[in-house]
């Protein structure tokens, strides 16, 4: 384990003395090489509502090189009540968040863009290593994901509605490292398996780092999966959160806003039937009671989903540890969060 003194004395660290001191705990957690990758990365975050604010905060504190916030939305009274990055009057949500973010970490280059994401061409996105899209329509997310896959850019997206939230990851082909326990004279076994074996054996062991690769499907392909051919037992372990989220996303796509009042319940129930038909499932798989729990953003849910999304972005950039492949689904009604791989059968 490198000490702070060793990092400061190293000409290869690529960090200033102030940065080495600031990121000391992180370097001890995930290593100097991982921190150097973070320090050389550029990130775009689209949308600065509750979820986007949490993601931006986590990435800035982690110590990326530069981050751009893209949000065309004018400030409203809700921004001052619900967005902790907004502290002063102004015309645009993203522009007003820069000063507060810069206070969190002066070593990160922070910029804001007040244009619409729909008006951005392919060349705009190619200037980033990671693109994270929040609070957008399906059409925008699919378009941006395809641009990212074409240009080898890591893509993430997510959203929160009341008690429900998700994040999706598309890293195309992703190489990463992980630490495993190796029994001397034996093959590598993963850490959890090694812990179990250690209880009944005195074999000498050592920790080693190995390289692995995961393949990801696109957002378009994941959303096109046909669920009608899934066996009934599959739905016993798969919660209905995915279909609830697709219904809420369909509402955003149709009305270009989120549910916000009791009168939206009938619209959601109608969309619920359309989503069930689209995926070839029974609408009874996700009960209609979800319409009571999806109005407005809840800060605790934003913090949970934003924490996971920020963590996955950091893991992807640092190439450290196993990434989530490919959906994280959170249901605050029963306080469950799961990772589900939803992709076409090969």
Give 192-248 pLDDT, tens digit per residue.
555 555 555 556 777 787 888 999 999 999 999 888 887 777 776 666 899 999 999
Name the CATH topology of 4-172+299-340.
Answer: Rossmann fold (3.40.50)
Residue (of 211, 214, 209) closest to 180 by Cα position:
209
Q: Please tell me the number of Cα atoms within 13 Å of 303 on its side-chain side.
A: 6
Q: pLDDT at position 12, please?
A: 40
Structural contact between residues 112 and 99, judged by C-beta atoms closer than 8 angstroms: no
Structural contact between residues 38 and 29, judged by C-beta atoms closer than 8 angstroms: no
By residue count, the chain amounts to 346
Regions in the chain scoring below 50 on pLDDT: 1-13, 185, 346
Structural contact between residues 76 and 51, judged by C-beta atoms closer than 8 angstroms: no
Q: pLDDT at position 195, please?
A: 54
- The tokens for 253 are 């796509």
Q: pLDDT at position 217, please?
A: 96
CA distance 50 to 73: 13
Q: Please tell me the number of Cα atoms within 13 Å of 23 on its side-chain side.
A: 33
Q: pLDDT at position 1, please?
A: 39
CA distance 212 to 319: 10
Q: Please tell me the number of Cα atoms within 13 Å of 226 on its side-chain side.
A: 3
Distance from first CA to last CA of the chain, Å, rounded?
42
Q: pLDDT at position 71, please?
A: 93
Residue (of 239, 249, 337) closest to 294 by Cα position:
249
CA distance 248 to 250: 5
Looking at the DSSP assignment, which residues form a beta bridge with residue 330?
Answer: 165, 337
Burial (CB count within 10 angstroms: exposed 0-12, middle 13-18, buried 19+), residue 103: exposed
- The tokens for 238 are 């798969």
């Amino acid at each position: 384990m490198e000490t702070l003194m060793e990092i400061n004395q190293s000409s290869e660290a690529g960090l200033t003395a102030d940065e080495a001191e600031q990121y000391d705990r992180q370097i001890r957690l995930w290593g100097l090489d991982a921190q150097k990758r973070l320090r050389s990365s550029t990130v775009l975050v689209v949308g600065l509502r509750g979820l986007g604010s949490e993601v931006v905060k986590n990435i800035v504190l982690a110590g990326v090189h530069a981050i751009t916030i893209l949000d065309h939305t004018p400030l409203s009274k809700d921004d001052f009540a619900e967005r902790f990055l907004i502290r002063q009057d102004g015309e645009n949500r993203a522009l007003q968040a820069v000063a507060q973010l810069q206070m969190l970490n002066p070593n990160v280059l922070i910029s804001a863009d007040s244009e619409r994401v729909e008006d951005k061409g392919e060349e705009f996105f190619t200037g980033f290593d990671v693109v994270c899209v929040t609070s957008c329509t399906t059409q925008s997310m699919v378009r941006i994901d395809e641009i990212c896959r074409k240009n080898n850019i890591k893509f993430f997206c997510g959203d929160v509605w009341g008690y429900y939230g998700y994040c999706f990851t598309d890293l195309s082909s992703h190489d990463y490292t992980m630490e495993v326990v190796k029994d001397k004279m034996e093959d590598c076994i993963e850490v959890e398996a090694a812990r179990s074996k250690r209880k009944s054996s005195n074999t000498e062991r050592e920790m080693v780092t190995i390289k692995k690769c995961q393949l990801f499907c696109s957002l378009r392909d994941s959303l096109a999966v046909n669920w009608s051919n899934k066996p009934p037992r599959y739905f016993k372990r798969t919660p209905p959160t995915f279909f609830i989220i697709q219904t809420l996303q369909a509402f955003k796509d149709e009305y270009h806003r989120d549910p916000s009042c009791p009168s939206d319940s009938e619209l959601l129930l109608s969309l619920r039937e359309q989503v069930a038909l689209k995926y070839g499932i029974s609408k009874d798989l996700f009960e209609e009671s979800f319409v009571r729990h999806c109005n407005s953003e809840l800060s605790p849910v934003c913090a949970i989903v934003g924490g996971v999304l920020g963590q996955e972005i950091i893991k992807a950039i640092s190439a450290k540890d196993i990434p989530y492949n490919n959906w994280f689904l959170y249901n605050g009604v029963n306080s469950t969060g799961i990772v589900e791989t939803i992709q076409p059968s090969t």
